Amino acid sequence: MTTLAEHHTADGRQSFLVLHDASAIYGVPGESQLVALHLARDVETRTFTLDSARVPLPSLAQSWLIQRRCPVKAIDAPDGWGTRPADETTVALERRLRDHGNRMTLVDSYSGEGYPTAETRVLLESRDPRASHPYRLLLEVADLRTGTHTLREGAFETAEAALDWLEDRSSPLPTPTPTPVRSLPARPAGPASAPDRTR
């Protein structure tokens, strides 16, 4: 694995890392290649605990670590980390996922390989029971020739509707309706049971 970003607390008790697992392309098709890792050390007993999650997007890896008390700026993507955001829409959405990723649960994802473009598809579910369109479909398309990527978001009433849109794509990605940010108990977005259908 290759370390993409890391932060270690001054007292040496905690480490936060984002890793790239290049071997994932030889495993289950579409498996996420990013791993967020939190290491907590008990220096008195000389023991440690290790927690990790495999996630499809850098912003979700950052969110997972931030929810475990990693400083926001400490785990920012360094120069040369993957492709660059191609526009302000991508920048804003990635920032929102990083800062408020705990409001969603990761349902399913597929990380595609290809040239000159590669697409990553992510399905999230809102933790807000009042959400009218609780499922969010994220599409990241990387242009490997220019070294840039775009990230777009669609809102759906059901996971099935989101997967149907992926199969068809004859209509624009449904734009989410802005909703007020509500206070929810902190809980990081992380892997959950995937629906019966995968892409």
Q: Helix, strand, coil proportions of the chain in percent (round to 5)?
A: 20, 35, 45
CA 48/CA 27 separation, integer angstroms: 29
Residues of the chain with pLDDT under 70: 178-199
Spatial CA neighbour of 122 closest among 70, 185, 63, 50: 63
Question: Do β-strands 2-8 and 14-20 pair in parallel, antiparallel, or remain unpaired?
Answer: antiparallel
User: Which pair of structure tokens corresponds to residue 7?
Assistant: 């932060």
pLDDT of residue 190: 52
Domain range summary for the chain, segments of one domain joined by +: 2-168
pLDDT at 192: 43
**Running DSSP on this structure, what letter comes out for residue 191?**
B
Residue type, 146: T
**Distance (Å) of CA 199 to CA 37, 64, 95, 108:** 26, 24, 26, 9
Helix (H) or strand (E) holding 55: strand 47-55
Q: Angle at the Cα of 118 (from 117 to 120), degrees rounded to 5? A: 145
Q: Map tokens 């984002």 to a residue.
A: 18
